[in-house]
Structure 1
Amino acid sequence: MAIRSSEQYRAGLRDGRRVVYRGQRVKDVLEEPELRLAVEHSALCYDLAETRPDLAVDVEGGEKFSAFYHVPRSVEDLTRRGSLIEACAAAGSGTIVLKEVGSDALFALLRATEGEGAEKARAYFDRVRSQDLALAVAQTDVKGDRALPPHRQADPDLYLHVVDEDAESITVRGAKVHTSFSANADEIVVLPTRAMGSEDRDYAVSFAVPVDTPGLTLYVSPYSAGERDSFEFPVSSRHKLLESLTVFDDVRVPRERVFLDRVPELAGPLAIAFVDYHRFTAVNYKLPLLDALVGAAHLIAELNGISRAGHVREKLTSLIAYAETVRGLGQLAALRSRPGDRGVQQPDPLAVNMAKYAFAHGFHDAVAKVMDLAGGLLVTGPGGEDWANPDVRPVLEKYFTAAGPAEERLRVLNLIADLTARDFGGYQAVLATHAEGSLEAEKMQIARSYDPAEAIAYARRLARLDD
């Protein structure tokens, strides 16, 4: 089963996993409509093997595998991966789909583990690839008091940690948060959230478990809950991500699934290795969202009859420059990539963090420009029930016609509202600020990745300091 169909993926989710949604235990994620929507969204990455085999299918030794699990070994490999992620996000209307994050974690494990941990990571990678599994990644601990390291927290469970062991397993307790796809993935990979000292030894742990493992409970966020009319919500009525508080209540992990077992000196390198790939993924999956903002801005300017105004052209040009800057820096991260540990190609840390910072730093200003071009109808316009009513629709068609017909104008306005002004837009705004690392985290990595020695030497020569 080197490549699963989307139907096989859906069937694999019926395993008795413990999911809590809106205060209630969900027995079957496929039977809960709002969770089913997220499943359908994630199934797109399996459908991509049929619709875009040129990008999504990898052939090795006569067998076909999902290209998401192609270990990058060259600039070309990373460039192809970027194109695959962008194509997948485009199918998801500008939203990340499923396999991207889990494969980021696998590459980090292959690069940053050592000894028996590295052997187990390679065996796990082979299993995931051969069975075409979908992985969620649990990295961010709930953290408690941010001023204190893990071992000094008032409650030791505020960081995930080892509480027991025997010859066959370790037992862990604690919680992770912001776990995307957890309720609709096959397995969860746990990574350290930060660098750790010797006193944090019990917290320096990495492993993978099936989602239905006893003691594992997923408390799924209700954000963007509720039924949605496709006229009002053209994107979020069809696409949804699930995020969870992921609680490990004395979860027993077989040792063959443990990649890092209380080795604090490797916690930081493993966390950073994941960040390298995850921010590269982030930049590429954000590109369709930026293209959607640019395209919608052009459409609404035309439909509102303002496209020739000087200030409008300036805003459109600014949006183009923003989107293409992010795209160019993402491509640069692949072009400047270099072989990392064990031959796994590493995206250039400087370029990839610059790309992610450029995206996050400019996103809210870009949204403001698109809102400005659209106007107040983003929040005062009619709804889907109005448009569907044959008595009301003629009134709307009469009074909302502008430089283009009312239906086109209202549909573009609703696209913009969904992406910017409504709860899905708020979700994207928070993701821009915090997902894949904060602005401050990206700035720190930019500073760490840049070696100023050559620039300083050049400035010294120009200043004749060494004459």
Structure 2
Amino acid sequence: MGLMTREQYQNSIRARKPMNVWFLGEKIEDLTTYPVLSASFNAISKVYELQSNPNWKDLITVKSHLNGEDVSIYNAPLSSPEDANRKTRAARALAEVIGCCTHRCTGSEAFAGLGPCTYDMDQDLGTNYFDRFMKFLDYVQKNDLTCTVTVTDVKGLRTLPPHKQPDRNSYVHIDEIRDDGIIISGYKCNQTGILFAHEIIIVPTTAMQPEDKDFALACAIPADSPNITFVLGRTPQDKRFFEIGGDIEGIDLGKKYADHQAMVYFDKVFVPNERVFMCGETKYVGRLLSYFTAVHRLTAGGCKAGGCTALCGAASLITEMVGVQKAGHIKTKLTEMAMIAETVYALSIASGIEGFKHPSGFWIPNPLLSHTCKYTCTKIPFDAVRYARDIIAGFGETAPSEFDMRSPEIGEICRRAFNPGNPEYDSFDRLRAVRFIEHMVRGSNWTAMALHGGGNQEASTVMARSFTDWKHLQNIAKSACGITKDGDKYDEIINDIGRRNGRICTIGDLPKSDK
């Protein structure tokens, strides 16, 4: 089939079988026309649209090494540092356009984890998971499908492992192993973009012990499979989607692109063998997550850089509207916002360059840099958020609605009050910029993505700790301060530093929990 156009993608979503989706206690009959989901449908449709744009083609499409066709970068595993950096640049550029998740990145990162992990399992155990996975990937590429990964189980009581949970459904698990496949059940949450995906990929959420073998599974399921229930999550502005119409253009939404998150319940869903990529191999769960998160947290840097760039642009625009762009403290804040974007972008680029080639042919980003990137994304974008809210000032935070601005009775009063005074802009321009900032900092899930998307601070810290070569750090200090007095040992340390080219990561090794 080849790359889909915007219209072909939208038609493919409309052609899916009916899905069991709920919001505010009511079932959604048509996801593609439901107001709360319209911005999300717009966002992923825009990504498909840009595939046909000559100015974007080289950034978001590549030649497949499986079938030789042009495919989306979201369906092409990384095979080189150039691929990793393209993913970072694409994530940033797309975030600058849509200001939210592309809905396709997590699927690509599931591929990045499953490829090398299934290869390892086949080499060690004699399974045929890698062949299954590569055939599935070829199918996804040839049909230009959108895939999303379900990672986060609801977990129940956090002090208990999966197999001791009072409700086994707290983690997705295997109910039954049959000759032709498996039956699975359980919950997943925080699933971005899942309602407009063609395929759902399931991977575990945490490393497991042998007793948790029923919970050690990875597989792929069509999103419109039977026995799946979806519950759409709320955002602070979801009711505003119902307000558009007539003279109301939707300024109070902030922008026409957004993402969505949903909780998912799998109730005895059948998965055929050819779509099963892990089935009880608890020893390899941590390895799968290590490969997956190395790419997933690289993407966070590009994505958050793009969001920060857009936020900085809106804040800068506001300063020009109201005439404070030359104030020293304003210039400092805007510059800091720009540097915040560059910081997380640089970490993402570096982790791609400093990675390593897996025997399967997949490129694994430097995991220490990748997790450092994600950890940084949980912190410094919030400085950009604070600066943006500071710059729009209190009147921006409490701005009148578009309804009031257009009201025959009080519209003129509101427009005069909110007019910035700059003849190049009117009150509606100011409201558009203000609402864009509001959408980014408190109206949508963008800040939640910065904090929790791809894992929170502690998750990044744990992984970074496991990939830091602490003995090497100690040897650096021993040689530098004279503790190492043996000449041969000193030379060994110095040579090791040179061999590593400045790296302190246990690159290529597995996390300690897997050893």
TM-score normalised by the chain length of structure 1: 0.93
Once the 2 structures are TM-superposed, how far is the Cα of residue 367 of structure 1 from its aligned partner? 1.1
**Could you say if the C-alpha distance between residues 347 and 403 of structure 1 is closer, same or farther in structure 2, counting changes exceeding 3 Å?**
farther
Greater Cα shift, 38-47 or 258-267: 38-47
Work out whether 1:225 is the aligned partner of 2:225. Answer: no
Q: Distance in 2 between matches of 1:23 and 1:388?
A: 32
Greater Cα shift, 347-356 or 61-70: 61-70
Q: How many residues align?
A: 462
Paired-residue identity, %: 28
Q: Distance in 2 between matches of 1:325 and 1:335?
A: 16
Which position in structure 2 is the counterpart of 1:385? Answer: 403
Once the 2 structures are TM-superposed, how far is the Cα of residue 461 of structure 1 from its aligned partner? 2.5
**Could you say if the C-alpha distance between residues 86 and 450 of structure 1 is closer, same or farther in structure 2, counting changes exceeding 3 Å?**
same
Question: What RMSD in Å do the two structures reach over aligned CA positions?
Answer: 2.0
Which position in structure 2 is the counterpart of 1:103? Answer: 108
Which position in structure 1 is the counterpart of 2:508? Answer: none
Once the 2 structures are TM-superposed, how far is the Cα of residue 141 of structure 1 from its aligned partner? 0.7
Which position in structure 2 is the counterpart of 1:77? Answer: 83
The 8 Å contact of residues 45 and 98 in structure 1, kept in 2 or not, is answered as no
Greater Cα shift, 172-181 or 60-69: 60-69
The 8 Å contact of residues 231 and 414 in structure 1, kept in 2 or not, is answered as no
Once the 2 structures are TM-superposed, how far is the Cα of residue 26 of structure 1 from its aligned partner? 2.4
Work out whether 1:44 is the aligned partner of 2:46. Answer: yes
Once the 2 structures are TM-superposed, how far is the Cα of residue 319 of structure 1 from its aligned partner? 1.8
Point out where structure 2 has 5 or more consecutive residues left out of the alignment.
Answer: 123-127, 486-515
Q: Deviations over 1:123-151 (max 9, x none)?
A: 11111111111112111111000111001
The 8 Å contact of residues 319 and 366 in structure 1, kept in 2 or not, is answered as yes
1:53 equivalent among 51, 57, 62: 57
The 8 Å contact of residues 102 and 134 in structure 1, kept in 2 or not, is answered as yes
The 8 Å contact of residues 111 and 342 in structure 1, kept in 2 or not, is answered as yes
Which position in structure 1 is the counterpart of 2:155? Answer: 143
1:257 equivalent among 234, 257, 275: 275
Q: Distance in 2 between matches of 1:296 and 1:38?
A: 21
Greater Cα shift, 76-85 or 383-392: 383-392
Equivalent position amino acid for 2:23 in 1? Y
Once the 2 structures are TM-superposed, how far is the Cα of residue 215 of structure 1 from its aligned partner? 1.2
Once the 2 structures are TM-superposed, how far is the Cα of residue 415 of structure 1 from its aligned partner? 2.1
Q: Deviations over 1:409-463 (max 9, x none)?
A: 3332222222224x22xx2222222111001111122222222444432322232
Work out whether 1:12 is the aligned partner of 2:12. Answer: yes
The 8 Å contact of residues 20 and 229 in structure 2, kept in 1 or not, is answered as yes
Which position in structure 2 is the counterpart of 1:112? Answer: 117
Which position in structure 2 is the counterpart of 1:416? Answer: 437
DSSP-derived class of the 1:233 partner: helix
Which position in structure 1 is the counterpart of 2:488? Answer: none
Point out where structure 1 has 5 or more consecutive residues left out of the alignment.
Answer: none
Greater Cα shift, 37-46 or 166-175: 37-46
Greater Cα shift, 432-441 or 223-232: 223-232
Q: Distance in 2 between matches of 1:411 and 1:17?
A: 35
Where do residues 2-401 of structure 1 align in structure 2 (5 Å cutoff)?
Answer: 2-13=2-13, 14=15, 15-51=17-53, 52-60=56-64, 63-92=69-98, 94-113=99-118, 114-115=121-122, 116-223=128-235, 224-226=237-239, 227=241, 228=243, 230=249, 232-233=251-252, 235-236=254-255, 238-389=256-407, 392-401=410-419
1:465 equivalent among 471, 478, 483: 483
Q: Deviations over 1:44-98 (max 9, x none)?
A: 2211211221222323565322232222211112112222222332331x21122
Q: Distance in 2 between matches of 1:457 and 1:39?
A: 53
Which position in structure 1 is the counterpart of 2:453? Answer: 435
The 8 Å contact of residues 309 and 341 in structure 2, kept in 1 or not, is answered as yes
The 8 Å contact of residues 377 and 413 in structure 1, kept in 2 or not, is answered as no
The 8 Å contact of residues 146 and 199 in structure 2, kept in 1 or not, is answered as yes
Once the 2 structures are TM-superposed, how far is the Cα of residue 230 of structure 1 from its aligned partner? 4.4
Q: Distance in 1 between matches of 2:339 and 2:86?
A: 24
